[in-house]
Structure 1
């Protein structure tokens, strides 16, 4: 089942998304034309007086991938998984910094470092974190142009760290109700990599394990909890971990070190989620929130498989959910290229210079095109992301790999570059 198709009328006012079959009918009858390929949107040739249905935009922010879902009348009608490029940004900044420092040390006399010549505004985030917030907001604003969204739901925190430390906090009904244990289990799954810490088993039921057994004075604090498969849990019993792992000193050191280590990735994600929450409120739409424990509880209760866009659909209070799409749009942030005019080698010395021209033969790097190659190793029709050159002999990256050479005369534009790559 594919995503529903977005529809706007001739005045570019968004109306209710429709089933792909209805969209094909309108296109065949000439009542509409394609407005945008990704996300697939059609535009009617007449104005619409249709009464729009309430549609909730649900977001599950993640460190690497953010899930997005549109829910109408308890049905998931559209989904997407947005893959960020935060790590690539961090690596590029570190590379640029190292080249800059080598150049300055090579060409200038020693200058004492100055630490007070820069200020950061309130709420500043590192570029790799700011990227996650901005790309998510970009898609929120983009979807609002094509869909009559009436509200936003966001998973605000992955787990309630206060409730983990003090389970008796008043107001947290899930600590003593049907959500009991879900916050702790989700935290441990993220902290320990979703595998048994003793044998490394994955894709198997994991049990919460006390590093220091309660019979020996251990507590239920999360710093004393880990995850183990059933055989390892039974084999360890209430033995001291030092005795149980005496023949595996490397695993023992890793478990003891990781037990005390904070979950830095979770802290970073939680900080970006709060910033995202504040910016979503500026859209003027009502914003509701939920926790990761509630999301997982809803998903388990409804028997839904774990996918990023389905996690997003399960955010907040969900009583029932119908899946009308099983093929989310896969979105990968690629950026807009770089402004660096001089390419350097690994030592920081310039080796070549870039041209100021970005478009060649009507195409630009990042354009998604359809190329019909008449002969050669890659003869046939291909759709992919283009890398252009001044010679007119391009390269294309498709879902099946790299296609080269691709001449400009065989290319037909499908979607202009917008900083993202798409796949179904």
Structure 2
């Protein structure tokens, strides 16, 4: 498994040690557990002149998962590895749900208030909340690791995806420079592309409507490749159904339509939009930042015979990658961002009417939802995350346990952790 982080009583980071060494220090009473994830111990003394080996923190940013690796450049040993799973999709879904509730409330025959769209100002460098959350997750873990290990340098994969080439690999020349819609409006382009024919029933010479192949209600976008033509009856009949369900009895038509639909480029767009913002924020740590291309990462990984995983990709970022990588026995810590719960006090139903109200207190009897606890009762020993109730009976997994049998082993910090292939119970929201 990964090494254990060590800090002295002045909270200065020392060299990470093997788990057996950390176990010996804890058994002898020379150290105490400081943090469970990542596992960190604190010595009960001050080390005046520590001899630390400098480490390099490497990042392989991704739209959904970011690889993290802590490497010793001198001997090529991987000290710590992790894979950080982001929650941008959950944030976007929550914002869409809140927007829908507000618009339904305004449209009801109660108190009417005009929607406000043009009274907001965005600061320079603004990013959508889903992308801002991705950057915040990465920076949070960079700061945590810098407090726990003697990190002297950072490496980031600074990759740019060519979206136009990914959508159409054969595009060249003037069309590549001027784009798909050069000389067209969107509607005229779609009419020309689909031959002024309903894509579902094949009717011509009838009024046609712009149709989203993957419905907007299910996460579809306004990209040109997601638009087609449909007559009014077909458009109404399809509604928000998945196209595979709607055309289940017409496999030939389904195959023809899907052949013209390009795969979504959301992930590539997210990486493109945040790569330089992440670089500038990493420079604020005051450490030298090395940048490497995606091609160099693949070359380093291939020449060293490593598997294709997020944390091994992070290990191979940049020209500083040692010629030999030692990763035997390293088990990556899987980190999932879950957030800190909701601030919404009134939870509405699907029609926008208030359904239940939440308590204003976030803690009760010293605990809060998401804390990881260990409970020893007459029924057995339980360990996992709790959901508090404002009565002395908390939910731990599938059982209710009184707080007097519990002791906290890790405070809720907005993340869920997995080690050794065992996934802890997810926090209740």
Q: TM class, shorter-chain normalised?
A: 0.7 to 0.9
- CA deviation vs aligned residue, 1:352-378 (integer Å, no higher than 9, x gap): 211112222321101011123422xxx
- Please give the residue correspondences for 1:127-166 in structure 2 after superposition, counting only pairs within 5 Å: 127-157=129-159, 159=161
- Aligned partners of 1:334 and 1:394: how far apart in 2? 20
- Please give the residue correspondences for 1:19-418 in structure 2 after superposition, counting only pairs within 5 Å: 19-48=18-47, 49-72=49-72, 73=74, 74-106=76-108, 107-109=110-112, 111=114, 113-157=115-159, 159=161, 250-258=254-262, 263-317=265-319, 318=321, 319-375=323-379, 380-396=380-396, 402-418=397-413
Instruction: Give the match's secondary structure for 1:331.
Output: strand
- Aligned partners of 2:313 and 2:31: how far apart in 1? 33
Q: Is the 8 A contact 1:81 1:308 kept in 2?
A: yes
Instruction: Give the match's secondary structure for 1:16.
Output: coil
Instruction: Give the match's secondary structure for 1:289.
Output: strand
- Aligned partners of 2:295 and 2:254: how far apart in 1? 32
- Aligned partners of 2:56 and 2:281: how far apart in 1? 17
Instruction: Give the match's secondary structure for 1:409.
Output: helix
Structure 1 residue aligned with 2:417, among 400, 413, 422? 422
- Aligned partners of 2:104 and 2:406: how far apart in 1? 43
Report what 2:241 is aligned to: none
Distance 1:105 1:162, change over 3 A: closer
Once the two structures are overlaid, the 10-residue window that deviates more, 320-329 or 101-110, is 101-110
Instruction: Give the match's secondary structure for 2:384.
Output: strand
Instruction: Give the match's secondary structure for 2:14.
Output: strand
State the shift of 1:300 in Å. Answer: 2.0
- Aligned partners of 2:295 and 2:253: how far apart in 1? 34
- Aligned partners of 1:407 and 1:251: how far apart in 2? 57
- Aligned partners of 2:261 and 2:341: how far apart in 1? 40
Report what 2:202 is aligned to: none
- CA deviation vs aligned residue, 1:262-294 (integer Å, no higher than 9, x gap): 733202122122211110011111111112222
Once the two structures are overlaid, the 10-residue window that deviates more, 261-270 or 333-342, is 261-270
Q: Is the 8 A contact 1:9 1:44 kept in 2?
A: yes
In structure 1, runs of 5+ residues without a counterpart are 167-222, 224-246, 397-401
Name the TM-score, length of structure 2 as normaliser.
0.73
Instruction: Give the match's secondary structure for 2:339.
Output: coil
Distance 1:293 1:255, change over 3 A: farther
Q: Is the 8 A contact 1:156 1:270 kept in 2?
A: no
State the shift of 1:163 in Å. Answer: 9.9
Report what 2:232 is aligned to: none
Distance 1:124 1:386, change over 3 A: same
Distance 1:114 1:33, change over 3 A: closer
- CA deviation vs aligned residue, 1:27-80 (integer Å, no higher than 9, x gap): 122221111111111111222222211200001111111111100131111011
In structure 2, runs of 5+ residues without a counterpart are 171-224, 226-250, 420-429
Q: Is the 8 A contact 1:77 1:324 kept in 2?
A: no
- Aligned partners of 2:65 and 2:123: how far apart in 1? 27
Q: Is the 8 A contact 2:163 2:268 kept in 1?
A: no
